A and B are shown apart, each in its own frame.
Chain A
Amino acid sequence: SQELEQSPQSLIVQEGKNLTINCTSSKTLYGLYWYKQKYGEGLIFLMMLQKGGEEKSHEKITAKLDEKKQQSSLHITASQPSHAGIYLCGADRTGGTSYGKLTFGQGTILTVHP
């Protein structure tokens, strides 16, 4: 089984619709990072969450880390074609001994139709 489960695996929405992507871990998350990737390119850092209950927003994207620090959600409001891509959650699952290792979910492919 995946150490980090992302859902859904893919999402097709009409421009202007809201959407949510979830990232669930069976272990406590010491840091949760959201990235966006265009196919075949590098990952673009979106947001970092560390504290239980923390919520951050940037433009139309909001990310939350639940109180138990085992699940995070990424919410996009009024989606646009520019939001299309692959969204990945990456987690620090061991705290101070992770030494540069992030564990990633399998990604969510987002398609936004104009």
Chain B
Amino acid sequence: KAGVTQTPRYLIKTRGQQVTLSCSPISGHRSVSWYQQTPGQGLQFLFEYFSETQRNKGNFPGRFSGRQFSNSRSEMNVSTLELGDSALYLCASSLAPTGGSGQPQHFGDGTRLSIL
């Protein structure tokens, strides 16, 4: 069974540009969560989608957005990139939203975004 697939693996952008990252969850998983990982702040929750609906959002500015498609694939978009957006962006999928369901999240290898 294929794991969580994130594309691209590496991305270099300049300040002010926008970027779209893609995540294909494990087959049958309907919940997709996104996280940002930096050396200073660690792993921080961005948002979660289930059945094409955003059900939870972390404390990030509106420049960070996402969506989920009917096949559970998800994308996240960051507009007007800033130097501080340089990070490893991780996507995780689970059968059901974590939280009382007892379903663990399974992570992809991430997209390394570098802002010049």
Contacts and interface: CB of A to CB of B under 8 A. Distances in A.
B90 A42 contact: yes
A43 interface: yes
Given A30-B100, A92-B99, A98-B98, A41 B109 contact: yes
A104 B43 contact: yes
Contacts of B48: 99-101
A40 B42 contact: no
Contacts of A88: 43
Nearest to B41: A106
B12 to A, nearest CB: 15
Contacts of B45: 100-103
B98 A95 contact: no
B92 to A, nearest CB: 8
The B contact surface, by secondary structure, is strand
Q: How large is the interface on A (under 10, 10 to 19, 20 to 34, 35 or more residues)?
A: 20 to 34
Interface string B64-106: 0000000000000000000000001010101001111010111
A85 to B, nearest CB: 14
Nearest to B42: A106
B98 A43 contact: no
B56 A98 contact: yes
A44 B108 CA distance: 9
Interface of A: 30-31, 33, 35, 40-45, 48, 50, 88, 90, 92, 94-107
